[in-house]
């Protein structure tokens, strides 16, 4: 039996199914369309067959099962595209880092996973601490529209942000343009650094990403509350922790209860 079957089965036995009006709000096309971002390997990637897989895919399947509807995965290679799909009602739910700007059009749940953001530099770089990054001569590579882009755009006052097309291309951009810093998911940076000797992570995180589910605000309060309830049950039941274990995810932790 696949590891995923037991937690979903147990989960469905304890959660209350949303009322019909909420189910209709989530499924205007008759299916649940889940926006999946492959740009964050902690949450989603392709399996050996090339199909989307990961924690967010597992949660999407569980939520569709809760609603009793068919699931359709709408897959993107960058966070900004995934957010846009939900904001413009081209998808019914999504999996995003909580951010005030995104919150203008998307109703977020409380986070289900916490992920660490780190800086990567060259071994010879004089940058040793996070506070060394925000200086006029420093250029920081980020994935366009990612949580790091949104956060650092607000927080950095002197350093210049250079946007890579997607988060998986951040280190390539950092190397090709000879930039001073790359910013992103710790695990992605570590994996990329193993392919390019002479790089190191700073020894402290610069942010903790609160990864949540979201639904277009246009779907109404009942839908937002139903999704929030689902996430809390998914954390409490062990569904999230088992999904992290199933996909061998390290460096991310289940968020505390709301």
- Return the CATH number at 221: 3.40.190.10
Residues 103 and 128 in one domain: no
Contact by Cβ (8 Å): 209, 117: yes
pLDDT computed for residue 1 by the predictor:
32
Residues 73 and 119 in one domain: no
Cα gap 252→255, rounded to integer Å:
9
Residues 70 and 94 in one domain: yes
Q: Is the pTM of this model over 0.75?
A: yes
pLDDT computed for residue 178 by the predictor:
97
Residues 241 and 199 in one domain: no
pLDDT computed for residue 4 by the predictor:
45
Residues 137 and 157 in one domain: yes
- How long is the chain? 258
Residues 69 and 144 in one domain: no
pLDDT computed for residue 204 by the predictor:
94
Q: Tens place of pLDDT for every residue, the chain, 258 residues?
A: 343 444 555 565 556 678 899 999 999 999 999 999 998 888 898 999 999 999 999 999 999 999 999 999 999 998 889 999 999 999 999 999 898 889 999 999 999 999 889 999 999 999 999 999 999 999 999 999 888 899 999 999 999 999 999 888 999 999 999 999 999 988 889 888 899 999 999 999 999 989 999 999 999 999 999 999 999 999 999 999 999 999 988 778 899 998
Residues 31 and 143 in one domain: no
Residue from 40, 46, 38, 29 nearest 91 by CA: 29
Residues 129 and 88 in one domain: no
Cα gap 34→71, rounded to integer Å:
7
Residue 45: alpha-carbon gap to chain centroid: 11
Cα gap 48→51, rounded to integer Å:
7
Residues 44 and 126 in one domain: no
Residue from 197, 206, 208, 212 nearest 251 by CA: 208
Whole-angstrom Cα Rg for the chain? 19
Cα gap 44→107, rounded to integer Å:
21
How many domains does the chain divide into? 2
Q: 239: number of CA atoms within 13 Å, CB side?
A: 28
3-state helix, strand, coil in the chain (%, to 5): 40, 25, 35
Residues 105 and 22 in one domain: yes
Residues 104 and 48 in one domain: yes
Residue 183 φ/ψ, nearest 5 degrees: -125, 140
Q: Domain range for residue 164? A: 115-207
CB count, 10 Å around CB of 248? 6
Cα gap 187→250, rounded to integer Å:
8
The tokens 């209860």 sit on which residue? 257
Residues 148 and 99 in one domain: no
């Amino acid at each position: 039996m696949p590891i995923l079957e037991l937690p979903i089965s147990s989960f469905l036995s304890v959660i209350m199914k949303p009322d019909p009006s909420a189910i209709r709000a989530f499924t205007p096309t008759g299916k649940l369309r889940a926006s999946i971002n492959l740009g964050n390997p902690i949450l989603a990637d392709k399996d050996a067959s090339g199909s989307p897989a990961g924690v967010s895919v597992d949660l999407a399947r569980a939520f569709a099962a809760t609603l009793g509807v068919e699931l359709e995965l709408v897959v993107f290679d960058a966070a900004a595209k995934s957010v846009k799909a939900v904001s413009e009602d081209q998808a019914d739910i999504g999996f995003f880092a909580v951010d005030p700007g995104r919150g203008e059009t998307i109703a977020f749940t409380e986070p289900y996973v916490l992920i660490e953001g780190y800086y990567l530099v060259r071994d010879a770089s004089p940058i040793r601490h996070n506070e060394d990054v925000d200086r006029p001569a420093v250029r920081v590579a980020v994935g366009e529209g990612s949580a790091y882009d949104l956060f650092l755009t607000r927080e950095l006052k002197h350093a210049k942000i250079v946007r890579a097309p997607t988060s998986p291309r951040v280190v390539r951009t950092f190397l090709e343009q000879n930039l001073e810093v790359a910013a992103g998911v710790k695990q992605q940076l570590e994996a990329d650094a193993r392919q390019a000797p002479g790089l190191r992570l700073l020894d402290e995180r610069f942010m903790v990403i609160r990864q949540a589910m979201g639904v277009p605000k246009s779907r109404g309060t009942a839908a937002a509350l139903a999704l929030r309830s689902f996430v809390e049950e998914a954390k409490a039941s062990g569904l999230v922790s088992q999904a992290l274990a199933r996909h061998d995810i390290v460096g991310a932790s289940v968020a505390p209860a709301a």
